[in-house]
Amino acid sequence: MSKPLGQLGEADFSSVEAVLAVLRSRGGRVTSSRRILLQVLFEADGHMSAEALAEAVQERAPDVHLSTIYRNLEDLEDLGVISHSHLGHGPSSYLLASHAHAHFICADCGAMIEAPDALFRGLARSAKAQLGFAIDPKHFAILGRCARCSAEDAD
């Protein structure tokens, strides 16, 4: 792209066409692979790895390479359309930024629990006040033990 995208405060990312319009306005190109990737992301029920996204895109356009998917994911993340997170030991996963959330992962059984943002407000305030650090709890999962695995130890 000719200009760095950067995050765009109040840009409209509510649909594929809205995202493409923002891309165009920032000097970005609208390619068929980018359009298909956005369609897949908007249709997804949740997190998808780059490989799963590539597979879904390639079902519609077999000539799209994984490297193209990675470049597009990077551009879309720079724009603020998507976010990626690290959910335990697997590959990064991607989803629309408007659906991003924090996660707890059970180190014993692998259960993934979506954590509401409200759980991190106090921690965020404390980290900012005491350390001057703004946390992003949506980027990494917090490992621990789920209620079921903890209860098994209590028996």
pLDDT of residue 35: 96
- Residue 125 pLDDT: 92
> CA–CA separation, 56 vs 48, rounded Å?
10
pLDDT of 9 reads 53
| AA letter at 144 | G
How many CB atoms lie under 10 A from the CB of residue 62?
7
Contact status, residue 24 vs residue 16, Cβ threshold 8 Å: no
Q: Which residue(s) pair with 143 in the sheet?
A: 105
| Per-residue pLDDT, 103 | 87
3-state secondary structure of 32: helix
Please name the residue that has the structure tokens 């509510």.
Answer: 14
Q: What is the pLDDT of residue 90?
A: 74
Place of tokens 């995208």: 5
- The pLDDT of residue 5 is 39
How many Å separate Cα 69 from the centre of its chain? 14
From residue 103, alpha-carbon distances to 34, 75, 140 in Å are: 28, 24, 8
Q: What domains sit in the chain, N to C, each tagged with a CATH number?
A: 16-98 (1.10.10.10), 101-154 (3.30.1490.190)
User: Residue 8: its pLDDT value, please?
Assistant: 45
Q: How many CB atoms lie within 10 A of CB 93?
A: 20
Measure the CA–CA gap between 61 and 23, rounded to whole angstroms: 21
Q: Would you state the pLDDT for residue 117?
A: 82
Q: What is the pLDDT along the chain (155 residues), one digit of tens a residue?
A: 333 334 445 678 989 999 999 989 988 889 999 999 999 999 998 889 999 999 999 999 999 999 999 999 999 999 889 988 887 777 888 988 888 888 898 989 988 888 888 888 899 899 999 999 998 887 778 889 999 999 987 76
